[in-house]
Structure 1
């Protein structure tokens, strides 16, 4: 239904400016994009909410987002729930309240990643198919460290079978590596395989900061990266590194957390990296 010849307009920064997700754990609409419809040539706002685990409050939250966005912009708002959880029966699609003859609520569309066939995703030339497959294989193999390593390495090699540009391959490699977190022994084997692949393909996959992970393990590597960041004055690089590790540990980061990381001092980044190994939830890192 969307005319992709018209470039989508992302509205995420505007959401932050009007008070969405100012505080950690606050309301953060995952994505807000302005898109053009094919049939009517009309521009509408598309709100996309990504949910990786069951949450009974999701329908109410989508209702809140949808109303607040509509109130702010005075425009049509379509909401889409992208369900990345493992329960095939959980398919929320509406939220309604009725009282004394008055009904208030919302019905919204949803997409379930479990519905996609692995074979179809494997053969598709759509880069998001590969990302979806990485997510699903991580769910399927998470209890078998060697099987997860094999799946990750297969998807990494698959990057070359689509004829994509070097830039796209590097971007997707970093996404896959962040999503498919391995235990330290398997990750070390993966890094060494990547080094061989770099030489074969004459392509730099790993930055000097990431190289430290192979030599010292993820936590020591993070500390090394922070120290290197201080020496080079690269606070942004240290923040990116910590964001990557938090994503591996706790899943996709809310926009408010990413914003907080990139405003932090080196001392704050170091304190949060020290707190990460013992934290059971994302908010405990920042407490």
Structure 2
């Protein structure tokens, strides 16, 4: 493993602006020199200038690559863009260790610690999916029929995913890949089978969970906290799990804006009826929404142009 942390992003034009905000937060919190590889499937005309300005401002080593996905455009899109699946091509694009980060994440502290994580000989490092974990915990620790039905649905999903254990299902938004080990264990070709992802609901995330079911080192949830992981504080979650996830709620290192609502859709979070009696979720949502907007403004000052069209 080299000494210079290597960060990678994959994105299409729709995710380009938020990815630049994410990249800004990674560079703004770095404690050492980073190597960054950006893989854009349909880059905008001004992406090159944006990258150059960020690289100059932070004295960072950033490479911009145009990734052609013409061979996969026949695949059904579903609710996830094809560009998201392009990260499955990592084994033929890079070697060594890489830290993959989704474009809808912001770093709140130096990510080089994450890149240096001890994977204990495993192919990847990832964080458990808190939504799945919470569903299973609620069914286990309450008598709710609704919760039981939801958990059964999760377990049935695991059966469809080649029998994986959904209690070990991870979110793929932030992952450490040891590409040399992936090649050595003969899993590179399977990982890169983008065609095979078409029949799964969560596409590449499901596929990665299947391929690396026995090759994942679970990381501290501070490194992939979905909007602050508020559900992990619920009383139906066992105390040991609540305690283990506490820092990911109180002071996450990376916040991941999971779900369909994104903080670049408006300057302030719109009112949501379902959050009326969820004070923690409302508070976390407002807090991280504001943090994204602050990072966006700081990034725009450096590149000297707006990243997003006005949404308010």
Q: Could you tell me the TM-score, scaled by structure 1's length?
A: 0.32
Question: Which of the pair has more CA radius of gyration?
Answer: 1
> As a proportion of its length, which structure holds more helix?
1
